[in-house]
Chains A and B, each alone.
Chain A
Amino acid sequence: QQQVKQSPQSLIVQKGGISIINCAYENTAFDYFPWYQQFPGKGPALLIAIRPDVSEKKEGRFTISFNKSAKQFSLHIMDSQPGDSATYFCAASNPGYSTLTFGKGTMLLVSP
């Protein structure tokens, strides 16, 4: 069964701190790894994504680190802000298909 395991389940970070969320996958055929951000009452929205041929991708305060040999990838949020408080989902997709397998999510709270 295809799975994406995400941790931690919840995270509290002080304003200005670094938030780190980790994911691990089993299916080596996955070839695209996006992170989604979801606010209460809203649908998930794509935040940043990476392909396995690179080890890191940075967009503003958000960075994905990817370790292909360990089958792990992580999201780092630098200088975390209260507005970043949301649920974050990692996901993975198979080659040739755009369907997503999601992790269970991490509820991030950035305290002022």
Chain B
Amino acid sequence: EAGVAQSPRYKIIEKRQSVAFWCNPISGHATLYWYQQILGQGPKLLIQFQNNGVVDDSQLPKDRFSAERLKGVDSTLKIQPAKLEDSAVYLCASSLGYRGFTEAFFGQGTRLTVV
């Protein structure tokens, strides 16, 4: 079974530039998550989709971050404009459902460095 695919693996940008990350979840998984993992910390949820609808985006900095999941499959996460504190690994995960606990499978992440 193919895992969660993310691209790019690494990205270096200057502050105030924009950047976008792409995620392809495991086939058949209705729920997709974006997590931010700052060095030395655990992942923090940014946004959760159920199919193409948003379930939880309470921790998404909406003034600069946006995410979409068209057609309920692939997803993109965008940052515009980037700040130094956005340097982190951005992890995409997917699971079969979202009611009750279902195992979330994580991709390898995109490491973003803002200089």
Contacts and interface: CB of A to CB of B under 8 A. Distances in A.
A73 interface: no
A104 interface: yes
Contacts of A100: 43, 45, 104
Interface stretch (B64-72, B74-82, B95-103): B95-103
Nearest to B59: A99
Contacts of A41: 108
B107 A43 contact: yes
A104 B37 CA distance: 10
A32 interface: yes
A91 B37 CA distance: 14
A46 B104 CA distance: 8
Interface string B82-108: 000000000101010111111111111
Contacts of B14: none
Contact of A102 (B43, B98, B108, B109): B43
B33 interface: yes
A36 B68 CA distance: 27
B106 A43 contact: yes
A12 B101 CA distance: 32
Interface residues of A, number: 26
Contact of A104 (B31, B40, B107, B109): B40
A96 interface: yes
Contacts of A89: 42-43
Interface in B6-55: 31, 33, 40-45, 48, 55
Contact of B43 (A44, A46, A96, A98): A44
Given A93-B101, A103-B42, A105-B41, A98 B95 contact: yes
A51 to B, nearest CB: 8
B108 A43 contact: yes
A18 interface: no
Interface of B: 4, 31, 33, 40-45, 48, 55-56, 91, 93, 95, 97-109
Q: Which 10 A-B pairs have the closest CB atoms?
A: A102-B42, A43-B106, A32-B101, A98-B98, A89-B42, A99-B45, A44-B106, A93-B101, A102-B43, A104-B42
